[in-house]
Amino acid sequence: MTAGRLDAVLLDRDGTVNVKAPEGDYVTQPDDLRLLPGAARAIRALNDAGVPVAVVTNQRGIALGRMTEGDLAAVHARLAELLAAAGAHVDAVFHCPHEEGVCACRKPGPLLLERARDALGLADLRCSVMIGDALSDVQAGLAAGARTVRLSADPRAEAAGGTVAPTLLDAVSELLAARAAVA
């Protein structure tokens, strides 16, 4: 990963911070949310280093009627609760509630990341990193001008110009080590 400044880290949610529901299903209730091993530790490390963290997540389940905005708010409250129990927090959460192909905010489009950039008070995302488990996360990061990390147990996974790490904790550890090396 590229050494240097780290203004913010933008995280996909499902499959990056929490266990992804089986294909075709969605995390629709607070009790459905389970953090991935090491995810809270990774976010806390970013918090301890003073790096802002935002979640940017597609939530198509709303458009499909499988959940409401209220359900999603309850899931995100549970996420905040689980992170807080580990001494961690995210600074902001942004979501796209739309069906595929009907909006500008759904990743791989960059609008959610641009909203995070603005909310975090950043001039741009060149010194920030988008981390996610899907190619669409990487594509959104690149479209917004951010560096990217794709999470995959397969080091040969397509990274589309970014890097690959097996877990969020591995990615964050590398980012923070690279940042410290130039400090």
Residues carrying an active site annotation: 12, 14
Q: Cα separation of 45 and 60, whole Å?
A: 30
Classify 76 as helix, strand or coil: helix
Q: Cα separation of 120 and 143, whole Å?
A: 18
Which of the 8 DSSP states describes residue 61?
H
Closest residue by Cα to residue 90 from 140, 134, 40: 40
